[in-house]
Structure 1
Amino acid sequence: MKIAVLGAGNMGLSFSKSFLKYELIKPQNLHLITRNENKKDKIRTLFPESEISSFDEIKTLEADLIIIAVKPQDFGFVAEKLPFKISEKSMILSIMAGISIDKIQKLLNHRSVVRAMPNSPTLLGMGITGYTAAEGISFSELMNVERLLNSTGRSVYLEDENLLNAVTALSGSGPAYFYYIIDAMIKAGTEMGIDENLSKLFVKQTMLGAYHLINNSDKSLEELIKDVASKGGTTEAALKTFEENELKSILKKGILAAENRAKELNS
């Protein structure tokens, strides 16, 4: 299989590294394409055996799978200025937030499109990706795509494409929500007099431990909270403050705003 990555940014490069790490393709069959001429040398140091090009250097693109990894805000411009034609035999895999299959098909004049929404932990092979496909794509073709996606973590097929905007808001943007909360906890620690590095250690290890407890327990989240929050204790005082300030409601509103923005990107 020959794979071309259109838009060799962080996500495009992390996908490429995973494909090579698990030997799903040969380095010689990987073609990385960047809009920024100045980035070519840096990309070449990371992928010395692969083909590296800028957009305007390509006349014909020969690939079984073309991954569209440009920023969704730039897709309309990129599609209009694309200096090469996409072969009918190629399949397109979009990892752009918000851009629908229908819009990709129309702007690229190409029918065979799979749309996916990964998240940043794919950089470590611990991501999760929701994906769906245009009509006419065979089961075996989908399995090939899923095998590639699973090299970056886990993947989930969705029948309803509209749910990908919710996936974008929930898991695509999700890592930033956790970073935001962790940052607030670390700053609270320093405000209470704990050294910043030590505060980071306490918070990050607490997060890691809590994750493993969730993953290895049959208890619900409500039950796990009750296990920590004894009546009249310190945890209860914190949770009461969260409830009084409607923290859960604020988080929900933020996630719904992210979903709405994903929808706007397609307009």
Structure 2
Amino acid sequence: MKIAILGAGNMGLSFSKSFLKYELIKPENLQLITRNESRLAKISEEFPHSRISVFQDVKEIDADLIIIAVKPQDFQYVAENIRFTLKENQMVLSIMAGIKIEKIQKLLHHPLVVRAMPNSPTLLGMGITGYTSADGISFSQLINIERLLNSTGRSVYLENEDLLNGVTALSGSGPAYFYYIIDAMIKAGIEMGIEENLSKLFVKQTMLGAYHLINNSDKNLEELIKDVASKGGTTEAALRTFEENNFKEILKKGILNAEKRAQELNG
């Protein structure tokens, strides 16, 4: 399989690394296309045997799959300034937030589009990606796409494309919510007199341990919370403060606003 990635940013490059790591593609069959000429040297250094191109110079793409990894706000410009014509049998995989399949088909004048929403842990092969496809994509083509997506972590096929905006808000943006909470916890530790590096260690190891408990326990989240929060204890004091300040509702509202923004990106 030959793959071209249009948009050699963090996500495009992390996909490339996963494909190469699991030998799903040979380096010479990978073409990375960037608009940023200043990044050429760095990309060439990281991917010495791949083909590196500048967007405005590309007049033809020799690839079975073209991955669109540009920012959603830039897609209109990119689509209007493409100098190559997509061949009938070429597949397009979009990993842009918010941009619907119908709009991609219309702007690229091409029907074979799969839309996916990965998240940043794909950098470590620990991401999760929701994806869906246009009509006319065969089962074998979807299996090939899934194999590629699974090299970056896990993937879930969704029949309903509208759910992808929810996936964008939940898991696509999700890592930042955890970072935000962790940052607040670390700063609370510092305020209590715990040295910053030590505070980071306590919080990160607590997060890791909590994740494994969730994964390995038969108990639901409410039961796990009760296991930690004894009546009249320290955890209960913290949780009561969260409830009094509607922390859960604020978090939910933020996620719903992220979904709304994903909808707006389609224009």
TM-score range, shorter chain: over 0.9
What SS does the corresponding residue of 1:49 show, helix, strand or coil?
coil
Question: Residue 73 in 1 paired to residue 73 in 2?
Answer: yes
Structure 1: segments with no counterpart, 5+ residues: none
Contact in 2 for aligned 1:11/1:120 (Cα 8 Å): yes
How far is 1:209 from its partner?
0.3
Q: What root-mean-square deviation, in Å, do the aligned CA atoms of Structure 1 and Structure 2 show?
A: 0.4
| Deviation at residue 54 of structure 1 after TM alignment | 0.2
Counterpart residue number, 1:237: 237
- The match for 1:18 is 18
Write out aligned runs for 1:186-197 (5 A). 186-197=186-197
- Which position in structure 1 is the counterpart of 2:122? 122
Structure 1 contact 27–49 (Cα < 8 Å) conserved = yes
Instruction: Compute the displacement of 1:65 (Å).
Output: 0.2
Distance in 2 between residues matched to 1:105 and 1:38, nearest whole Å: 30
Query: Any stretches of 5+ residues in structure 2 without a counterpart?
Result: none
Partner of 2:207: 207
Quote the Cα distance in structure 1 between the aligned partners of 2:224 and 2:115.
36
Instruction: For 1:142-181, list aligned pairs within 5 A.
Output: 142-181=142-181
Aligned counterpart, 2:113: 113
How many residues are matched? 267
Contact 1:91/1:113 (<8 A) preserved: yes
Supply the distance in 1 between the matched residues of 2:229 and 2:240 (Cα, whole angstroms): 10
Which position in structure 1 is the counterpart of 2:61? 61
CA distance in 2, matches of 1:103, 1:149: 22
SS in 2 for 1:210: helix
Q: 2:93 aligns to what?
A: 93
Amino acid at match of 2:240: K
Greater Cα offset, 37-46 or 110-119: 37-46
Specify the code of the residue in structure 1 equivalent to 2:68. I
Q: Secondary structure, in 3 states, of the residue corresponding to 1:86?
A: coil
CA contact (8 A) 1:130 1:158 kept: yes
Structure 1 residue 38 displacement after superposition: 1.1
Which residue identity lines up with residue 109 of structure 1 in the other structure? H
After TM superposition, the score normalised by the length of structure 1 is: 1.00
**Could you tell me which residue of structure 2 aligns to residue 33 of structure 1?**
33
8 A Cα contact 1:120 1:175, kept in partner:
yes
Matches within 5 A, 1:210-229: 210-229=210-229
Write the distance in 2 (CA, Å) between the matches of 1:8 and 1:212. Answer: 34
Return the alpha-carbon distance in structure 1 between the equivalents of residues 4 and 103 of structure 2: 20
Amino acid of the structure 2 residue aligned with 1:252: K
Counterpart of 2:2 in structure 1 is 2
Q: For residues 226-246 of structure 1, give each alpha carbon's deviation from its aligned partner in whole angstroms, at most 9, with x where no partner exists.
A: 000000000000000000000
State the alpha-carbon separation in 2 of the partners of residues 58 and 243 from structure 1. 55
SS in 1 for 2:128: strand
> What TM-score does the superposition give when structure 2 sets the normalisation length?
1.00
1:166-188, CA deviations, whole angstroms, 9 ceiling, x for partnerless residues?
00000000000000000000000
Q: Please state whether the residue corresponding to 1:103 is helix, strand or coil.
A: helix
In structure 2, how many angstroms separate the alpha carbons of the residues matched to 1:189 and 1:11?
A: 33
Give the AA of the match of 1:218: D
User: Which 4+ stretches in 1 moved above 4 angstroms?
Assistant: none
In the alignment, residue 35 of structure 1 is paired with which amino acid?
Answer: R
Cα deviation 1:20-64 (Å, max 9, x = unaligned): 000001000000000011111100000000000001221111110
Residue of structure 1 equivalent to 2:185 = 185
Q: Which amino acid aligns with 1:111?
A: P
8 Å contact 1:68–1:93 — kept in the other structure? Answer: yes
Question: Partner residue of 2:254?
Answer: 254
Helix, strand or coil: the match of 1:212?
helix
CA distance in 2, matches of 1:243, 1:193: 26
Is the Cα–Cα contact under 8 Å of residues 62 and 87 in structure 1 kept in the other structure?
A: no
